[in-house]
Amino acid sequence: MTIIPKNVVCPRCFSKVLHRFGKDKDGFQRYQCQRCKRQFAPDKPGSPRKRKYPDCPVCGKATFLHHDYTYYSNFRCCDKKCNHSFRVPKLINVQPPSSEFKPESFSFKGMRHPLHIVLHALTYYFCGNSTTRKVAQTLHMVHQVKVSHVTVSKWIKRFAPVFKKIADDRLLGINLCDSDEWHFDETYIKIAGKDYYLWLAIDSETRLVLDFNLSPMRDSASAHSLLSNCRRKFGQPRSAVISDRYYAYQQPASLFFPNAKHIRVEDFDDLINNNVLEAFNGQFKAWYKPKRGFNSFESANRLIATYIFFYNFIRPHSSLNGLTPAQVAGIKYSDKERLFWLLVA
């Protein structure tokens, strides 16, 4: 009986239950595994075959592609006893979120009404949770100015790039890296009768809305766009990144915030929860629901950007002692300057 060397194992299943299976065309001894029927010649010289996918970081064995996403791939170990799953990011650029829309030139050409009437209409719309029809009715009752609700809608969309420019310039000089926690969450809205998802990021200490991303999909690519833009603009928090248990946050949180702990909230009653962002979602829905949805993606994106500007810079918050989130974040401006922003807009 021929004895098989102890160091010879099956390269596929690592079994030692083998028997000789003749020789190959070069004269090297060939073996066959009795379990998986794999044939191999271990003594044959040559470079080992490169694996298509990365090795398992736990056991070093081969892996297979479990899921392939836009910005990363999810691999799983071929050994069922190990069954380790890990993610590998792709070396591609992440698309910016919808909040980074292109700036447009602004002029007062074609505006027949005084500027203070326009600003009153914007305040009624964003701070009073009114519809464009109610804003037009309020202007007629209070200011004796008769305008169409279509005109009010055009005013709102026209001023959106101006407010975005003011917000971007002011947010450039603040430091939010000293903040302990940043919160991320998503909610859905209706655009032309279809569901869209609004991804939001907020700072727990200042209540400042860091960024948003409006997307037709609730997937990891949308989460990557939001978290990468927050990292680019504000750095990363000192302690933790908090989100719900949705899988889309796992890879971007570990990729863009490696020094912060990712806390996945399970319940509203947990000691660390996402109630700060849920409270903002409640205020946003109170403003959004009277509109009964939006007509187009472009108009929805501009209206949401302007609403967040009013939330961060214009409207005082009782929980912040009458200050705005931007003032608590370190942006110094007085009430007169806040009104001046509306005038120069």
**Does residue 103 register a pLDDT over 70?**
no
Residues 6+ apart with CB under 8 A from 284: 187, 198, 307
Query: Which range has the worst mean pLDDT, 132-136, 180-184, 248-252?
Result: 132-136
Burial of 7 (0-12, 13-18, 19+ CB in 10 A): exposed
pLDDT digits (tens, 9 = 90+) for 48-71: 667 889 999 999 899 999 999 999
pLDDT digits (tens, 9 = 90+) for 256-267: 999 999 999 887
pLDDT at 344: 43
Identify residue 43 by its one-letter amino acid code.
D
Strands across the sheet containing 209-215:
209-215, 194-203, 181-191, 240-243, 261-264
| DSSP label of 214 | E
pLDDT at 125: 82
Question: What is the rounded (10 degree) CA torsion for 150, 308, 100, 235?
Answer: 180
The structural domains of the chain, ordered by start, are: 1-46 (no CATH), 50-92 (no CATH), 170-344 (3.30.420.10)
pLDDT at 73: 95
Strands across the sheet containing 39-40:
18-23, 29-33, 39-40
- Cα 155 from chain centroid (whole Å): 29
Enter the pTM of the model.
0.77
Element containing residue 117 per DSSP (H, E):
helix 115-127
Residues 6+ apart with CB under 8 A from 111: 118
Give the C-alpha distances (Å, rounded to integers) separating 67 from 117, 221, 251: 54, 14, 13
Give the C-alpha distances (Å, rounded to integers) separating 82 from 57, 58, 62, 72, 289: 11, 8, 11, 22, 49
Other CB atoms within a 10 A radius of the CB of residue 135 amount to 25
C-beta pairs of 307-310 under 8 Å, 24+ apart in sequence: 307/126, 308/167, 308/209, 308/212, 309/163, 309/164, 309/166, 309/167, 310/122, 310/123, 310/126, 310/127
The pLDDT of 138-156, averaged and rounded, is 87
Query: Which range has the worst mean pLDDT, 204-208, 297-301, 305-309, 313-317?
Result: 313-317
Query: Which range has the worst mean pLDDT, 80-94, 109-123, 179-193?
Result: 109-123
3-state secondary structure of 311: helix
**Does residue 77 register a pLDDT over 80?**
yes
Query: How is residue 157 written in tokens?
Result: 């969309």
